[in-house]
Amino acid sequence: MKRSVGDKIIDAIIVFFMLLVIIAMLYPMWNTLAVSLNDARDSIKGGIYLWPRKWSLYNYQSIFKTDKVFNAFLISVARTIITTILNVFFSGLLAYVLSHREFVLKRFTTVFMLMTMYINAGLIPQYFLYRNLGLNNTFWVYILPAMVGAFNVIVIRTYINSLPPSLAESAKIDGASEMKIYFYVIFPMCLPVLATVALWVAVGAWNDWFTSYIFAPKQSLSTLQYEMMKIISSSMQQGAAQTPDYLQQSKSQQSSMVTPNSLRASMTIVATVPILVVYPFLQKYFVTVNIGSVKE
Amino acid sequence: MATTSLATGRAVPGKPKSNFFEQVKKQKELVLITIPFIVYFFIFNYLPLWGLTMAFQNYKPYRTFWEQEWVGFKHFQKLFTDPAFYRVLRNTLAMSLINLAFSFITAIVFALLLNEIPKQLYGFKRVVQTISYMPHFLSWIIVCGLVSTILSMDDGIINNLLLALGLVKEKIHFLGKPEYFWWIVGFTNVWKSMGWNSIIYLAAITSIDPCLYEAAAIDGYGRFGRMWHITLPGIKSTIIVLLIMNAGWILNAGFEIQFILGSNGLVLDVSETIDIYVLKKGFAGTAGSGFAFGTAAGMFKTVCSAAILLICNKVSGWLGEERLV
């Protein structure tokens, strides 16, 4: 199709609009990064937008020096890695089992599992369940309830069903057990979909603070997101009492090396970067899996 | 071995079906793998349903189940006569509708415009897409932190911009004004999910037959004519299915953003949703005195949600679209 002058003007407008979108999406994080890398006492003067004025890594040093944050970081990493591995493995296993079209329990298991997406006893019965199971205030409360996801199973099963069945069949004829077929044949073939599911699970586990808030408020089990939540809520509550005059006053009174704002900025970066580093690599899988899940 | 093929357990046509137990025996490996999963789902998803009995009791944690006092619908009566309950219901519905409208329209428009980026700028399109998905992966906590920074009275960019452009005379305390709260939640939702939600429309657009565009161009339709008469009708069914299914989640207006941005006390009247109400009532009071009431409030929400979902699913079926459940 030929492009007229009018078309070119429209193109220019669209490109301009998209640039605005990029700026709107990137600016808040970019600004936070700049503030986190700027000297805290210098930041109080304001006016840090895109670039640090006085470079300093002190904000990062000071948050990692506190045991609280470092411990929370370790808990976050541990729960994310363990949950992701277990969830992907078990969701994939159940998906493989349910991909057998003649399996006797297929219908029952599928319905029993899908129902879990729609029924929900609510927060307090859940709290009691975890308490009765002895999960509250233990590391297990991060792991056990998140070992299989119904939605993940459906997505993986759809993918397995689209694979040619001949490989699994020939392995079966060679006498391989179902577990072996899953592990050596199905698992490697499903890597694209498993990577996507892994990303969902990992993002969910990393970003979750509510589990800590309700079920594991103990400091030694705190996660990075929960620490963030505490910092932000307390700053919100202080904010309620603030008037502009009060702000002016507090500016001159600041004398410590780190300020709440700088601390918050560097915590934000630490709590975000691990996710942002991984996701562009997995982006190419999103579209296929999204469509697959909707058709289901 | 008579009815299923050796290899996959798939049916061999023309043979009679054996009975249930024979099949179980034959597929015992699969059955053995499945049982732990059934037990798992039972414990973590079905067992808590038993806890719903609390909603009908004057629950005291130190009593056993048999010693509890049954009070019928007392907690529900209390719920329906609580003015705060109607307030949180209003907030939930208002924020849900704003979110639904905003995120739908923006995602569709964004997908249409992305699709209109000329082919020569393919790299640019990829960059825009990658960046627009990014906020989806940030946690609500982080997003709330960013929003409060941007809207801050103390050197927040929005206030600075408004001042510099002369649109306002003095800084606005955005997060402290009830009249702004719902819209801030709406815009934040757009920021966080517009790119991600557009993926599905983009995918639907790529499945439209390119011949249609050529035919429309020959018929003299311009850019917008083609968008309106080809692209939009092409993704109509996707839009309808997603709209109906999202309407099913109307009682889930979100929890985290209201909980955190609303925690400053100035906007509580407009920020609290049903989920926050359940949380606060449930864990209120000493020695678990709020558990029963909180359970009742949560149960109300679950039952209504399930009913709405079923209706939406039915409607989707009537319209001849694929059912999602």
Q: What is the total count of domains within chain B?
A: 2
Domain identity same for B121 and B186: yes
- The SS3 of residue B4 is strand
Phi-psi region of B5 (alpha: psi -120 to 50; beta: other; left: phi over 0): beta
**How many angstroms separate the CA of residue A72 from the nearest CA in chain B?**
15
- In a shared domain, residues B24 and B148: no
pLDDT of residue B5: 44
* Higher local confidence (pLDDT), A274 or B264: A274
Could you give phi then psi for residue B57, rounded to 5 degrees?
Answer: -120, 160
Query: Tokens standing for A242?
Result: 């603030």
For residue B162, is it within any domain?
A: yes
Q: Which residue pairs from A169-177 have beta carbons closer than 8 angstroms and sit at least 24 positions apart in sequence?
A: A169/B7, A169/B8, A170/B7, A172/B6, A172/B7, A172/B8, A173/B6, A173/B7, A177/B29
Provide the pLDDT for residue B273: 92
Instruction: Output b/e per residue, B282-297; b: 16+ Cβ within 10 A.
Output: beeeeebebbbbbbbb
> Inter-chain contact B302–A287, Cβ cutoff 8 Å?
no
Yes or no, beta carbons of A247 and B324 under 8 Å apart: no
Cα–Cα separations (whole angstroms), residue A16 to A71, A177, A271, B122, B199: 45, 58, 32, 15, 21
Whether A242 sits inside 8 A of B153 (CB atoms) is yes
Average pLDDT per run of 10 along chain B, which is 325 residues long?
Answer: 45 58 85 95 93 86 81 90 93 94 93 89 89 91 92 86 88 89 94 91 87 87 87 87 83 88 85 91 77 90 88 77 47
**For residue B309, what is the nearest residue in chain A, using CA coordinates?**
A118
**Which residue among A46, A177, A237 sits closest to B263, beta carbon to beta carbon?**
A237
Domain assignment of residue B2, yes or no: no
Distances (CA, A) of B320 to A79, A178, A290, B209, B325: 43, 39, 21, 22, 14
Q: Which of A17, A104, A276 sits opposite B137 (nearest CB)?
A: A276
Chain B contact present for A7, CB below 8 A: yes
Tell me the shortest Cα–Cα distance from B103 to chain A, in angstroms. Answer: 15
The alpha carbon of residue B304 is apart from the nearest alpha carbon of chain A, in Å, by 11
Nearest to B145 among A119, A168, A232 (CB): A232
Lowest mean pLDDT among A77-86, A276-285, B80-89, B97-106: A276-285
> Of A200, A229, A232, whose CA–CA distance to A80 is shortest?
A200
Q: Are residues B48 and B184 both part of a single domain? A: no
CATH code reported for the domain at A64-295: 1.10.3720.10
Picking from B38, B51, B141, the nearest residue to A121 by CB comes out as B51
Compute the count of residue pairs across chains A and B with CB atoms less than 8 Å apart: 280
- Of residues A17, A247, A290, nearest to B153 (C-beta): A247
How far is the alpha carbon of A52 from chain B, nearest alpha carbon, in Å? 15
The answer to whether B154 contacts A177, with C-beta atoms less than 8 Å apart, is no
Q: What is the pLDDT of residue B170?
A: 87
Contact B141 A264 (CB under 8 A): no
Contacts of B172 in chain A (CB under 8 A): none
Are B132 and A21 in contact (CB < 8 Å)? yes
- Residue B154: both structure tokens together: 């103390």
Contact B118 A119 (CB under 8 A): no
Q: Are residues B139 and B35 part of one domain? A: no
**A236 → closest Cβ in B150, B157, B264:** B264
Give A96→chain B minimum CA distance, Å: 10
Place of tokens 């069914």: B237
B91 lies in a domain? yes
CA distance B17 to chain A (A): 11
Chain A from 129 to 188: CB within 8 A of any B CB: 129, 133, 144-145, 147-148, 165, 168-170, 172-173, 177-179
Q: Indicate whether A224 pLDDT > 50.
A: yes
Q: What letter represents residue A171's amino acid?
A: A
Averaged pLDDT for residues A252-270: 75
- Closest CB to A100: pick one of B8, B37, B199: B8
Task: Give tens-digit pLDDT for B245-281.
Answer: 788 888 888 888 999 888 877 888 899 999 999 988 8
What's the CA gap between B147 and B172, in Å, rounded?
14
List, as ranges, residues 192-221 from A with C-beta within 8 Å of B.
Answer: 203, 206-210
- The structure's pTM equals 0.85
Question: Least CB-CB distance to B51: which of A124, A208, A268?
Answer: A124
User: B82 with B51, same domain?
Assistant: no
For residue B8, list chain A residues with Cβ-Cβ distance below 8 A.
100-102, 165, 168-169, 172
* Same structural domain, B45 and B97: no
Query: Which residue shows structure tokens 């609280």?
Result: A68
Does residue B66 form part of some domain?
no
Decide if A23 touches B, using CB distance below 8 A: no
- Comparing CB atoms, the residue among B113, B153, B191 nearest residue A244 is B153
CA distance B186 to chain A (A): 15
A16 close to B (CB below 8 A) = no
Residue at token pair 């709290």 = A127
Instruction: Inform me whether the pLDDT recorded for A85 exceeds 70.
Output: yes
Q: Is A273 on the interface with B (CB under 8 A)?
A: no
| Element containing residue B185 per DSSP (H, E) | helix B178-206
- Does B3 fall in a domain? no
Res A274: pLDDT? 86
Interface test mutation site (partner B, options A49, A124, A266, max chain B beta carbons within 10 A)? A124
User: Residues B166, B303: one domain?
Assistant: yes
In this predicted structure, what is the pLDDT of residue B46? Answer: 94
Q: Across chain A, what does the average pLDDT equal?
A: 84
Q: Is residue B63 part of a domain?
A: no
| pLDDT bracket for residue A238 (50, 70, 90) | low
Q: What is the pLDDT of residue B19?
A: 79
Q: Which chain A residues have a beta carbon less than 8 Å from that of B214?
A: 1
Residue B148 lies in a domain: yes
CA dihedral B109, B112, B116, B120 (to 10 degrees): 100
End-to-end CA distance of chain B: 35
- Give the model confidence (pLDDT) of A141-166 as tens digits: 999 999 999 999 998 998 898 888 88
DSSP 3-state of A38: strand
What are A107-147's pLDDT values in tens digits? 999 999 988 888 888 888 999 899 999 999 999 999 999 99
What is residue A138's DSSP assignment? S
Residue B194 placed within a domain? yes
For residue A211, name the pLDDT band (cuts at 50, 70, 90). very high
- Is A118 at the interface with chain B, CB within 8 A? yes
Q: What angle do CA A11, A12, A13 make, to 5 degrees?
A: 90
Nearest CA in chain B to A107: B34
Residue extents of the structural domains in chain A? 64-295
Summarised one tens digit per residue, pLDDT across range A157-195 is 988 988 888 888 888 888 888 899 999 989 988 888 898
B50 and B193 share a domain? no
For residues B141 and B233, membership in a common domain is answered with yes
State the residue range of the domain holding B40.
20-56
The residue-averaged pLDDT of A39-59 equals: 85
Q: Is the pLDDT of residue A290 over 80?
A: no
At B78, which amino acid appears? K
Of A21, A236, A242, the CB nearest to B261: A236
CA distance A254 to chain B (A): 14
Angle, vertex CA A264, rays to CA B252 and CA A205, nearest 5: 45
Q: What is the CATH number of the domain that holds B134?
A: 1.10.3720.10
